[in-house]
Amino acid sequence: MNETIKTMRAHRSIRAFKDTPIPQEHIDEAMLAGQAASTSSAVQPYCVIRVTDDDTRQQIADLAGPQQKIRDCPAFFIICADLRKHMLITRRAGNEYTNSLEALLVGSIDASLFAQNFALAFESMGYGICYIGAIRNDLPKVNDLLELPEGVCPLFGLCVGLPDQDPAHRPRLAPDAMLYNDRYPDDETTLAQIDQYDELYKQYLAERGAPPATWSESIAKKYSYVNRPGLGAFYESKGASLD
Ligand SMILES: Cc1cc2nc3c(=O)[nH]c(=O)nc-3n(C[C@H](O)[C@H](O)[C@H](O)COP(=O)(O)O)c2cc1C
């Protein structure tokens, strides 16, 4: 295993951090590594807001659960799809900015590629990270707190800092349940692979002292109701299109 793969495979989300601040040069390095990720036709449709104000961080921590780590971690970032730069350029050129779901998808995909490089760069420097999807509990409030202009669409947060815990690795589905040759398998094969993983997952939770539910049980619950309704309307209000 080479060092890069070792770092990748050492990942586990960190939810308790030491107070030690992150030097600016480490953030600068992680930015360059993040920005080195591939980006569709070089359009670079994302930006990152580092939230430094304590009160703003507490308000985001509260709306996200609460998740106190958002307030307490040494650095907290919000990753956004950024359609604004393209809007400004297109309008400055005297053209009308025309929008489509494609622009929002490209923004979300490229922002995620950036974010994973950014996060991995921090992990390679010894930091721990935790993504925060729960900012989407209340995007209008996040938008207002950060005074985000038209075209800037917050997607998820990222906590970074030196780990103050050493959690176990959460098992994943077997690679052969994820990588297929030429065709998606039949449902019987897929469900058999899931049954195998369920056992592993249950064991992992039991070892952590958590209620030993299977992965299937949690997925069946999660996808039986509409999670975070209103996201489409919010992104449309930011100038994105769902069409
Ligand atoms: C986009 C995204 C959003 C997430 N949001 C949260 C979150 O709001 N709070 C949290 O504690 N973990 C969050 N996580 C972490 C996942 O729960 C975690 O990655 C997953 O359970 C696998 O565990 P591991 O990262 O330790 O391997 C998020 C992960 C991703 C990729």
Residue with token string 């930011």: 238
Residue 161 tokens read as: 């800092």
Closest CA to 166 of 17, 2, 24: 17
Distance CA 139, CA 4 (A): 35
Q: Whose CA is nearest to atom 14 of ligand 1?
A: 131
CA distances in angstroms from 66 to 63, 135, 145, 177, listed in the order given: 6, 10, 16, 34
The reported pLDDT for the residue numbered 66 is 97
The reported pLDDT for the residue numbered 212 is 81
Distance CA 94, CA 46 (A): 23
CA dihedral 100, 102, 106, 107 (to 10 degrees): 20
CA distances in angstroms from 173 to 43, 199, 205, listed in the order given: 33, 11, 15
Residue 136 tokens read as: 């989407």
18 within ligand 1 shell (Cβ under 6 A): no
Q: Whose CA is nearest to atom 1 of ligand 1?
A: 133
Ligand 1 centroid – CA 111 distance (Å): 16
pLDDT of the chain along its 243 residues, tens only?
A: 999 999 999 999 999 999 999 999 999 999 999 999 999 999 999 999 999 999 999 999 999 999 999 999 999 999 999 999 999 999 999 999 998 999 999 999 999 999 999 999 999 999 999 999 999 999 999 999 999 999 999 999 999 999 999 999 999 999 999 999 999 999 999 999 999 999 999 999 999 999 888 999 999 999 999 999 999 999 999 999 999
Residues 6+ apart with CB under 8 A from 235: 104, 153, 242
Strands (E), the chain: 46-50, 75-82, 128-132, 152-161
Nearest atom, ligand 1, residue 112 CA: 1
Residue with token string 């949690």: 218
132 within ligand 1 shell (Cβ under 6 A): yes
Ligand 1 centroid – CA 131 distance (Å): 5
165 within ligand 1 shell (Cβ under 6 A): no
pTM: 0.97
204 within ligand 1 shell (Cβ under 6 A): no
Ligand 1 centroid – CA 95 distance (Å): 40
The reported pLDDT for the residue numbered 19 is 97
Q: Which domains does the chain have, with CATH numbers?
A: 3-167 (3.40.109.10), 175-215 (no CATH)
The reported pLDDT for the residue numbered 2 is 97
With the most atoms of ligand 1 within 8 angstroms of its CB, the residue from 7, 11, 13, 165 to mutate is 13
Distance CA 73, CA 86 (A): 32
The reported pLDDT for the residue numbered 211 is 86
